[in-house]
């Protein structure tokens, strides 16, 4: 069983006429995702990869009422309007590829999604992939089978590249994914580690979860608190990158937009310590992860 993206997913791509949007639509279709519509204002009546294009989500939903998911490939200042329109018309899964979405827009989106009882993945998310079911977004590129295979391990990562790397390491070790998620690394994430861990906890086929984090922010500490409260009870293998950041002057900027550190708040060391105390199994390097999964799952 997968989470978020399943064989029941019926998708739309907002911004489908752009370079990245059209490429994502093509790759999603090739992997088995049912993409029935695209949306670009002013481009209604066109088609991309055989997919009809509409001016609005409302028009797309009128023609294809089965749409329940969308991937957004629009400029960052247009993300709020695109996502709000999708949520207002009953789309239950919104994936946002666009990065550097204005903080106030992302905050409003966070709250509106919860009001509507929907799930928003991103901003700055490479996508979601459930082997054997489908994918939303650009995750896995044009040949996901090179790095993803069906299995019993969930993967959550702020880094899009590391979703692929960790899934490839699992595959090499004879393991695989139920679902792999690129959470995104913007300052505000519409869904965080705890949201995904809750879904994986409820999924009977997921036996363990791999979490990749980095310096900055407190989402990893929130995950640790969830473990302490026994709200997530399956083995959690965590790899937190960025120890070297502690050796740099405080004024140096690096990492994703959400990689903000103040004093010890948000440091890699503090996250590792909190997760370890909560019962997570800490990997020092990516290659440690398959053995830890096999040992504890």
Catalytic residue list: 256
Q: In terms of Cα–Cα distance, which of 194, 142, 180, 203 is closest to 289?
A: 180
Beta partners for 111?
A: none
- Are 241 and 204 in contact by the 8 Å Cβ rule? The answer is no
Q: In terms of Cα–Cα distance, which of 173, 241, 181 is closest to 206?
A: 181
Q: In terms of Cα–Cα distance, which of 149, 163, 192, 138 is closest to 286?
A: 163
Q: Measured between alpha carbons, how far apart are the two ends of the chain, in Å?
A: 17
Provide the 10 A C-beta neighbour count for residue 104.
10
Sheet of 93-96: strand order equals: 47-48, 51-54, 34-39, 10-14, 69-72, 93-96, 119-121
């Amino acid at each position: 069983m997968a989470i978020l993206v399943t064989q029941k997913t019926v998708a739309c791509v907002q911004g489908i006429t752009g370079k990245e949007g059209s490429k994502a639509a093509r790759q999603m279709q090739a992997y088995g995702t049912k993409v029935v519509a695209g949306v670009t204002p002013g481009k209604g009546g066109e088609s991309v990869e055989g997919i009809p294009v509409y001016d609005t989500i409302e028009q797309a939903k009128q023609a294809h009422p089965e749409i329940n998911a969308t991937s957004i490939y629009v400029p960052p200042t247009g993300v709020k309007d695109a996502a709000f329109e999708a949520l207002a018309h009953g789309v239950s899964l919104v994936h946002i590829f666009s990065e550097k979405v204005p903080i106030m827009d992302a905050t409003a989106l966070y709250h509106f999604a919860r009001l509507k009882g929907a799930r928003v993945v991103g901003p700055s998310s490479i996508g979601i992939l459930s082997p054997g079911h489908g994918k939303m977004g650009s995750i896995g590129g044009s040949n996901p089978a090179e790095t993803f295979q069906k299995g019993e391990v969930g993967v959550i990562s702020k880094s899009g590249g590391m979703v692929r790397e960790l899934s490839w390491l699992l595959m090499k070790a004879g393991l695989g994914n139920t679902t792999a998620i690129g959470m995104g690394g913007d300052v505000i994430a519409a869904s965080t580690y705890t949201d995904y861990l809750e879904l994986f906890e409820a999924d009977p086929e997921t036996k363990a979860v791999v979490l990749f984090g980095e310096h900055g922010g407190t989402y990893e500490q929130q995950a640790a608190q969830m473990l302490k409260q026994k709200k997530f009870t399956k083995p959690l293998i965590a790899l937190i990158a960025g120890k070297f950041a502690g050796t740099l002057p405080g004024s140096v900027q690096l990492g994703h937009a959400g990689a903000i550190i103040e004093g010890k708040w948000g440091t890699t060391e503090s996250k590792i310590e909190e997760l370890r105390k909560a019962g997570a199994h800490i990997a020092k390097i990516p290659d440690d992860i398959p053995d830890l999964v096999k040992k504890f799952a």
